[in-house]
């Protein structure tokens, strides 16, 4: 990249840093979702706990069984979505697919200068557009709007004083979020929107986890990064279908996801074709890169992030 284009919004994190930022963003969602998803269960449990000393003998076993069930629900309740290595891996792959994990302002081809310039509408490492697009969808979709509102209000408290979320038109809110996404300092909030965008398409963690876990302990070649095993190729196809269905990329790039790097452009699947003009070499498929990160970090406790 030429020096003139190394801007603050093009700050490149290492893969380890990016993975850590993704995990922190997922933990923000988990903390917020657990706080309100568990309240009804917690309230019911408290009621049963208060009554446990006065319950009739013939109802005692049933009463304590109910307490045990509620306690188990509280213990297992993670909320949807929640912080886990599989979802972090999937978002890691999408970040590299959408922005190479670098560009927070969309780069478009200037046919006169013969260079890419940061002149597009999309923002953030996951390349969100505004009105009637990705950010807008997250803010109004019934599956994501409550979490998005509460997390944005918390974020606002650290960024802007005297900004009342509900009193400002949605166009203003969208533009403010787009500005947030331009800065590397706000990558965590972009993670939040990336996960909630998938949630708005009804993609829950149970859809993602089995796909990523199929690559557990898969050995990837270190001597030639362009070699992709048959297991990863098959797994990448499953992940690609989920990515295209849930993300809706404007111009899906098969080359980048699967790691094709030969002069002849190859296609996998039927949803889109890899453009014949896109023949640049790719060091490593984005999915394989994500698999390597997953195998490196899957044993690390979520609490350490």
Question: What is the average pLDDT across 270-275?
Answer: 39
pLDDT in tens, 61-117: 887 888 777 776 665 554 456 789 999 999 999 999 999 899 999 988 888 888 888
Q: How far apart are the first and last CA of the chain?
A: 31
Distance of CA 263 to the CA centre of its chain: 32
Question: What is the average pLDDT across 47-59?
Answer: 76
Q: Phi then psi for 108, rounded to 5 degrees?
A: -120, 150
Quick one: pLDDT band at residue 54, thresholds 50, 70, 90? confident
* Collapsed DSSP state (helix, strand, coil) of residue 153: helix
Percent of the chain with pLDDT over 70: 76
Distance of CA 182 to the CA centre of its chain: 17
Winning range, highest mean pLDDT, from 38-42, 152-156, 270-274: 152-156
Of 279, 287, 236, nearest to 261 by C-alpha is 279
Q: Phi then psi for 180, rounded to 5 degrees?
A: -55, -45
Stronger pLDDT, 271 or 38, i.e. the higher one: 38
Q: Whole-number mean pLDDT of the chain?
A: 79
> 230 pLDDT exceeds 60?
yes
Quick one: pLDDT band at residue 295, thresholds 50, 70, 90? confident
Stronger pLDDT, 233 or 182, i.e. the higher one: 182
**Continuous segment of H or E residues that includes residue 288:** helix 286-297
**Continuous segment of H or E residues that includes residue 108:** strand 108-110
pLDDT in tens, 5-27: 456 678 889 999 999 999 999 99
> 127 pLDDT exceeds 60?
yes
- How far apart are the C-alpha atoms of 228 and 214, rounded to whole Å? 15
Distances (CA, A) of 219 to 229, 231, 287, 294, 295: 8, 10, 14, 12, 9
Q: What is the pTM of this model?
A: 0.77
**Continuous segment of H or E residues that includes residue 115:** strand 115-117
Cβ-in-10-Å burial (0-12, 13-18, 19+) of 298 comes to middle
Question: What is the average pLDDT across 115-127?
Answer: 90
Of 208, 289, 205, nearest to 243 by C-alpha is 208
């Amino acid at each position: 990249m030429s020096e003139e284009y190394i801007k603050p919004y093009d700050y490149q994190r290492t893969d380890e840093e990016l993975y850590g930022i993704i995990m922190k963003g997922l933990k923000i969602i988990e903390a917020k979702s657990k706080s309100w998803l568990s309240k009804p269960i917690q309230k019911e449990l408290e009621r049963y706990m208060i009554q446990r000393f006065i319950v009739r003998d013939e109802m005692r076993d049933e009463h304590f069984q109910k307490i045990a069930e509620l306690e188990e629900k509280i213990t297992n309740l993670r909320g949807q979505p929640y912080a886990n290595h599989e979802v972090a891996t999937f978002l890691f792959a999408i970040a590299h697919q959408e922005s190479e994990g670098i560009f927070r302002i969309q780069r478009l081809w200037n046919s006169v200068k013969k260079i890419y310039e940061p002149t597009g509408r999309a923002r953030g490492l996951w390349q969100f557009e505004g009105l009637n697009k990705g950010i807008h969808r997250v803010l109004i979709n019934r599956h994501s709007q409550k979490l998005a509102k509460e997390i944005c209000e918390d974020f606002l408290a650290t960024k802007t004083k005297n900004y009342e979320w509900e009193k400002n038109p949605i166009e203003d809110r969208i533009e403010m979020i787009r500005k947030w996404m331009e800065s590397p300092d706000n990558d965590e909030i972009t993670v939040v929107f990336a996960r909630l965008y998938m949630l708005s398409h009804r993609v829950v963690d149970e859809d993602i986890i089995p796909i990523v876990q199929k690559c557990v302990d898969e050995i990837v070649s270190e001597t030639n990064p362009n070699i992709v095993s048959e297991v990863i190729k098959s797994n990448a196809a499953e992940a690609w279908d989920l990515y295209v269905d849930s993300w809706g990329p404007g111009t899906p790039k098969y080359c980048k996801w699967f790691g094709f790097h030969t002069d002849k452009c190859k296609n996998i699947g039927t949803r889109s074709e890899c453009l014949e003009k896109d023949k640049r070499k790719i060091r490593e498929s984005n999915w394989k890169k994500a698999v390597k990160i997953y195998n490196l970090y899957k044993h690390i406790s979520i609490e350490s992030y």
